[in-house]
Amino acid sequence: PRSPPTRRARMDTLEEPTKSPNPYCLWFSENRERLTRESGSGGAGGVGKLAGQKWRLMSDAAKKPYQTKTADLSKEYAQKMA
């Protein structure tokens, strides 16, 4: 018997736009490879913990580009949903 489609597969077939990621997610996706190297392990727990620590230590000025991009993506999402 065929297994049911995964959640990811069902989401890919939807016509609705996806919600915008939060600033932390944008930053993390851009820095994932570097953080994986720094953590010394490929485990999600170690990488996530290191990422959380670095994000909390970042200044507001360093976070601003990610916050701005999130705001822009949120506006696009709202327009597409209207």
pTM, rounded to two decimals: 0.74
Q: What is the pLDDT of residue 61?
A: 97
Q: What is the pLDDT of residue 77?
A: 92
CA neighbor of 77 nearest in space, from 25, 27, 24, 16: 16
Task: Give the 3-state secondary structure percentages of the chain, helix then strand then coil, rounded to 5.
Answer: 75, 0, 25
Q: What is the pLDDT of residue 16?
A: 76
SS3 (DSSP) at 14: coil
Contacts of residue 49, defined as CB under 8 A and 6 or more positions apart, other chains included, come to: 39
Tokens of 74: 């949120």
Model confidence pLDDT, tens digit, residues 35-78:
999 888 778 888 999 999 999 999 999 999 999 999 999 999 99
